[in-house]
Amino acid sequence: MRTSECDLVIVGVGGQGVILISDVIGKAAVLAEKRVCGAETHGMAQRGGSVINHTRIGCSFSPLVGLGSADLLVALEPGEALRFAQYLSPEGVALVNTKPVLPATVTAGLARYPPVAEILSALRKHCRRVMDLDAIALAGKAGTAQAMNVVMLGALSSFIPLSQDDLLCSLAQVVPPRFLEANKRAFALGKAEVE
Amino acid sequence: MREYLLGNAAIARGLLEAGVGVVAGYPGTPSSEIIETVVDLKGDSKLHVEWSVNEKVALEVAAGASWAGRRAAATMKHVGLNVAADPFMTLAYLGVGAGLVVICADDPYCHSSQNEQDSRRYAQFAGIACLDPKNPAEAKEMAAYAFEISEKFNIPVMLRPTTRVSHSRSDVEVGEIRPPAGVGHFLKDPAHRVALPVHARPLHADLLAKQKGIEAELEGAPWNRLVLKGKTGVIASGIAGLYAEEAIAELDEEVSLLTLGAYPLPGKMICQMLEHVSRVMVIEELEPVVEEQVKMLARRVNPGLEIMGKGDSIPRHGELDLLTVHNAIARMMKRPERLAAKVPDTGILPPRPPSLCPGCSHRATYYAMKKAFGKNAIFPSDIGCYTMAVNMGTVDTCLCMGASITLASGIRHGDEGASICCSLGDSTFLHGGMTGLLNAAYNKARITVAILDNSTTAMTGHQPHPGTGVTATGEPTVQVSLEALAKALGAGLVETVDPYRLDETIKSFERARDYPGLSVIIARRACVIKARKKGERLRPLQVNEECKGCKICIDFGCPAIEFEGERARINSLCTGCGVCAAICPASAIEEVAL
């Protein structure tokens, strides 16, 4: 028996705004009167490290998505997409922002960052569908590169059982009013990019 | 109304809806957001909320408030309870005034901790009730209920969320926030407030006599649920209960299920289960607290029962997850296990460990310390962001809050002849380092103590402390001088440096190294995250054509310095601290021109 309507794993690097995405989804699920739960990374692991957020729509069980059972992997950073790809179900979809954030191990010359194409091809072997987008460029087009995470939110909105109205309504609760219009544009650009 | 709430925010709401009057705590992942949420939600309420100097202090402040008739809570992470263990154990004897809740957040898997001790053992040890929530909604209900149990049985009550409850979110029903209830008057009652031996002896007997009543009360608590179905049973506690429920739903098996959320455990309910089934699996994170009791009860009611748990399918360390629990139950039911997920080849990926921020002053302080003391010196360290500098070679120990100074003292008294320079943060010094410094002075430990003063409790999310001059609610208060403290505690040499001024910092460390007694270096520079949030902008740096590619700046380890081709390059993460310019032997790093 399936115990959740839709399982998402949202990954990235500390500071990229992973938690905001899940917060908007969670609040939208409450507006839609659905059960929702999730888990997030705080504390030590946040300092420039990898972060992972689990969000389960229509679920009142484990806050963690099981390995191999995420319907959707949303990666704000391409390397992190591959790092956490084992959460994806083989039937799942990966949405990947293609702009890397180089870890200190790479900038210090201790390790190498692979070409993004290599990462995407490894991902493609792993799941049904991989969609890549330059979310930072799209956010810039919307008026603020800071809204990269909201571009990704717009992109993922087509793959989850929540309405755009509910998502935008909860986005307005989370984003400061003066940035709301730019964020709405970012959302729309992200959504259009994957349609 | 429902809200999507973080577990810790749900706990804070539970406290506020129960009319809590005083909340005190020390920051520690995964517990810190409880106090922060209370601050955010308190509005004009006259409730008192504070960041205490440490967990022992927090619990004693909360106990005093309880004795003055106000519902009170102390918050901490699991290892904080070790610090608060002294009042914790005896408070169970003395009892409470209004309800007293000890919120102790456990961290199975050590996501952000030095160990993964199981606080349910502590509650059992002290003889008090413990509530073990499975999700934010339960945690909120339990926070309110804990006050009732505390008042009914005159004991402190522990609420024990784990990381996956405190830092999970779910839809939670929220209610009305109530102003602090209670009279606010300390009633003199020496027999129950003064732990003299003559009082403690009968109080211990009283505490033991209460246990049956507490157990009977909790037997009916809504978080202990028994559903009898097939002859195979699962007993699971806290969040493991949630995993078990989900796994049984996935497997669609007729398994009898007892989920537990309150300790002392419901003996009657457990016996009902044990009499009904022919085999049972006990699923809980960390210690076999439930399993031990199940085994004891089974001897009486069903001696032939097959009992599975720790050592079979359920590990005693780390955290559980759905897959582990699913497969444990599947194996028991002779069903195929769910295969571990296909793992893609991540070998091409560079590691991304957490690290000190670009411009973090700790990196500069450690660089200067190592320059002055040399790599053969001993560098005991402590708990904070700076523990992440372990790769710099200046973190030789990390045990518990404040232990850098005392370990350094012991290493010296243990006849180590090398130079010893220990380090700890400002908040850690005020939490648990002051007594160690006093002891080092008194017992003539010839060591250097570096206080890495970034003027905040950075690692846990920038909480204020007595050195910051601000309270938890943002009000101005006395700002304690670390220099005056260090002097008063007996340090012979006390110097303050700005670690961004590298040469001066190195010289200061050299003087400390050569000082024939106890020396203290206060390396003061605001946390770079906080400074930038406040709007501080220093001119960033760049590498010019003088770069010889020697990589000395790369070894410094700042994420803003990259190596590209034959030369270093400074990226957009640069905050302008300028320390790399000071260490470059070719003078190839300069400020970007305006």
Distance CA B50, CA B35 (A): 8
C-beta atoms of A61 and B388 within 8 A = no
Averaged pLDDT for residues A116-121 = 95
Read off the CATH number of the domain in which A52 is found.
Answer: 3.40.920.10
Q: How many CA within 13 A on the CB side of residue B161?
A: 34
Number of folded domains that form chain A:
1
In the CATH hierarchy, which fold is given to the domain comprising B2-219? Answer: Rossmann fold (3.40.50)
Identify the pLDDT of residue B499.
98
C-beta atoms of A86 and B323 within 8 A = no
Question: B4 — contact with chain A (CB < 8 Å)?
Answer: yes
C-beta atoms of A123 and B357 within 8 A = no
Q: Which residue has the tokens 């054509």?
A: B545
CATH of domain B225-332: 3.40.50.920
Averaged pLDDT for residues A25-37 = 97
**Is the pLDDT at B341 greater than 80, yes or no?**
no
Chain B residues in contact with A27 by the CB 8 A cut-off are 3-4
Question: B326 — contact with chain A (CB < 8 Å)?
Answer: yes
Q: Which overall architecture, per CATH, does domain B361-533 show?
A: 3-Layer(aba) Sandwich (3.40)
- Asked if residue A92 belongs to a domain, the reply is yes
Nearest to A75 by CA among A113, A111, A120: A120
- Asked if residue A184 belongs to a domain, the reply is no
DSSP B470-510: B-TTS-B-----HHHHHHHTT-SEEEEE-TTSHHHHHHHHH
Identify the pLDDT of residue A160.
98
Strand partners, A53: A10
How many cross-chain Cβ pairs, A to B, lie less than 8 Å apart?
A: 194
Nearest to A78 by CA among A100, A95, A93, A94: A100
**Is the pLDDT at B321 greater than 70, yes or no?**
yes
Averaged pLDDT for residues B420-426 = 98
- Asked if residue A182 belongs to a domain, the reply is no
**Is the pLDDT at B594 greater than 90, yes or no?**
no
Task: Please give the share of chain A, as a percent, with pLDDT higher than 70.
Answer: 98
Identify the pLDDT of residue B182.
67
C-beta atoms of A44 and B112 within 8 A = yes
Residue in B171, B341, B351 closest to A68 by CB: B341
Read off the tokens for A43.
């504390």
Identify the pLDDT of residue A127.
87
User: Do B225-332 and B541-591 come out as alike in CATH topology?
Assistant: no
Split at pLDDT 50, 70, 90, the class of A44 is: low
Split at pLDDT 50, 70, 90, the class of A46 is: low
Identify the pLDDT of residue B549.
94
Q: Least CA distance to B529: which residue of chain A? A: A47
Distance CA A69, CA A66 (A): 5
Split at pLDDT 50, 70, 90, the class of A45 is: low
C-beta atoms of B353 and A49 within 8 A = yes
Which pLDDT tens digit goes with each residue over B443-472?
999 999 999 999 999 999 999 999 999 999
Residue in A1, A66, A112 closest to B252 by CB: A1
Identify the pLDDT of residue B469.
97
Q: Which residue has the tokens 């200046």?
A: B394
Task: Please give the share of chain B, as a percent, with pLDDT higher than 90.
Answer: 93
Q: What is the mean pLDDT of chain A?
A: 93
- Asked if residue A180 belongs to a domain, the reply is no
Identify the pLDDT of residue B17.
97
C-beta atoms of B111 and A119 within 8 A = no
Averaged pLDDT for residues B342-363 = 90
* A140 or B345, which is more confident: A140
Identify the pLDDT of residue A43.
64
Identify the pLDDT of residue A171.
97
Which pLDDT tens digit goes with each residue over B11-57?
999 999 999 999 999 999 999 999 999 999 998 888 999 999 999 99
Averaged pLDDT for residues A123-136 = 93
Question: B535 — contact with chain A (CB < 8 Å)?
Answer: no
Q: Least CA distance to B247: which residue of chain A? A: A3
In the CATH hierarchy, which fold is given to the domain comprising B541-591? Answer: Alpha-Beta Plaits (3.30.70)
A52–chain B nearest CA distance, Å = 12
- Asked if residue A33 belongs to a domain, the reply is yes
Residue in B339, B356, B563 closest to A109 by CB: B563
Residue in A3, A49, A111 closest to B250 by CB: A3
Which pLDDT tens digit goes with each residue over A66-96?
988 999 999 999 999 999 999 999 899 999 9
**Is the pLDDT at B311 greater than 90, yes or no?**
no
| Domain boundaries, position A61 | 6-135+165-174
Nearest to B289 by CA among B160, B147, B140: B160
ipTM of the complex: 0.95
Which pLDDT tens digit goes with each residue over B560-578?
998 888 899 999 889 999 9
Which pLDDT tens digit goes with each residue over B103-157?
999 999 999 999 999 999 999 999 999 999 999 999 999 999 999 999 999 999 9
C-beta atoms of A107 and B321 within 8 A = no
Q: What is the mean pLDDT of chain B?
A: 96
**Is the pLDDT at B181 greater than 80, yes or no?**
no
Break chain B into its structural domains and give their ranges. 2-219, 225-332, 361-533, 541-591
Phi, psi torsion values for B117, nearest 5 degrees? -60, 155
Distance CA B433, CA B455 (A): 16
B255–chain A nearest CA distance, Å = 15
Distance CA B248, CA B456 (A): 46
Residue in A27, A42, A107 closest to B559 by CB: A107
A87–chain B nearest CA distance, Å = 7
Residue in B348, B353, B554 closest to A118 by CB: B348
- Asked if residue A145 belongs to a domain, the reply is no
